[in-house]
Homo-oligomer: A and B are copies of this chain.
Amino acid sequence: MVAQVIDGKAFAAKVRAQVADQVAKLKEENGITPGLAVVLVGEDPASQVYVRSKGKMTVEVGMNSYEHKLDADTSEADLLALIEKLNNDPAVHGILVQLPLPKHLNEDLVINSIDPAKDVDGFHISNVGLLGTGQKSMVPCTPLGCLMMLRDHHGSLSGMDAVVIGRSNIVGKPMAQLLLGDSCTVTIAHSRTKDLPDVVRRADIVVAAVGRPEMVPGDWIKEGATVIDVGINRIERDGKTKLVGDVDYASAAERAGAITPVPGGVGPMTIACLLANTLTACCRSNGLPEPEGLTA
């Protein structure tokens, strides 16, 4: 079997187009423009790239983008005051604080000071709790993107055996909750798992979210399984820098039924889902129906 490639770049473009359509409708029919505020503290180069990219795409789908760039030595009190202002600003429907924060700032405290209804990253403990009890919540962007691709490929996921490798709060754990919500039988595997190859071999769906380059070889993949590779690892090979996933793509693609490449798989979906979440937050805060196909 040669796997179907799940084109995350094309899928993300489609999601952004859906968001843009609904934003246009919101403006026309309700006179509302969704707004996303992104807060960047310090000058981490990778974070600056992400924030620029988020701002650009926010504007492209017709939303307002508000960027707040603060000095690396900003005090916690000043950061919390800004968040409080954004919480109370009716033009702001989504708030994202770019992580990691400088060491002197308490990330948990900062994230949990965001109004949960505007927490478009889905990291506030109230949103984790709502997701963990099967209630409506803001869902973390990366696992939401994975779920959208899986639903698009399979239709119903009910009864499928899903294995999530990795138990991070940002990807692994919320991914498991989402798959459980779609009635998969879900296994969470991790560094302490005894026989990882065997665990992965029984999966109809494999989500790899570990951050170790090519750690999942093709012969761990069940014939015909769907492989979602969340890893984005920078390695040196043949004297060149290269991006690879947590899955060994070449060998896995020979056995999988479908697979996401790296780059161009899960990666582009994350920002698309951030925009989808901002739209969702805007609809909810205005008592309008949720945007179809863009939520968990």
**Interface, chain A (partner B; CB < 8 A):** 108, 124-135, 158-161, 167, 169, 173, 176-177, 180, 183, 185-190, 192-194, 199
Check A185–B187 contact: CB distance below 8 A.
yes
Contacting pair B129 A159 (CB below 8 A): no
Contact A183–B192 (Cβ < 8 Å): yes
A176 — which chain B residues lie within 8 A by C-beta? 188
Tell me if B187 and A187 are in contact (CB < 8 A): yes
Complex A-B: 14 CB contacts under 8 Å: A126-B126, A127-B129, A129-B130, A132-B132, A132-B177, A133-B173, A158-B192, A159-B193, A160-B194, A176-B188, A185-B187, A185-B193, A185-B199, A187-B187
Nearest 9 interchain pairs by C-beta: A125-B129, A129-B129, A128-B129, A183-B192, A187-B187, A185-B193, A132-B132, A133-B169, A128-B132
| Nearest B residue to A128, CB-CB | B129
User: How far is it, in angstroms, between the C-alpha of A132 and the C-alpha of B125 when the chains are bound?
Assistant: 8
Q: Are B124 and A159 in contact (CB under 8 A)?
A: no
> Told that A133-B169, A180-B188, A187-B187 touch, could you supply 19 new A-B pairs with CB distance under 8 A?
A108-B135, A125-B125, A125-B126, A125-B129, A126-B126, A126-B129, A128-B128, A129-B129, A129-B130, A129-B132, A132-B132, A132-B173, A132-B177, A159-B194, A185-B190, A185-B193, A185-B194, A186-B187, A186-B188
- A183-B190 contact given A108-B135, A129-B124, CB 8 Å threshold: yes
- Residue with the greatest number of chain B CB neighbours at <10 A, chosen from A133, A160, A167, A183: A133
Which of A108, A135, A161, A199 has most B Cβ within 10 Å? A161
Shortest Cβ distance from A130 into chain B, in angstroms?
6
Docked pose: A134 CA to B183 CA in angstroms = 24
Give Cα distance in the complex from A189 to B180, angstroms.
Answer: 9
Which of the residues B125, B185, B194 comes within 8 Å of A133, measured between beta carbons? B125
Smallest CB separation, A160 vs chain B (Å) = 8
CB of A161 within 8 A of CB of B194, answer yes
**Inside 8 A of A180's CB, which chain B residues have their CB?**
167, 173, 188, 190
Residue in chain B with minimal CB distance to A131 = B132
List residues of chain B with CB within 8 A of the CB of A124. 129
User: Smallest CB–CB gap between A163 and chain B, Å?
Assistant: 9
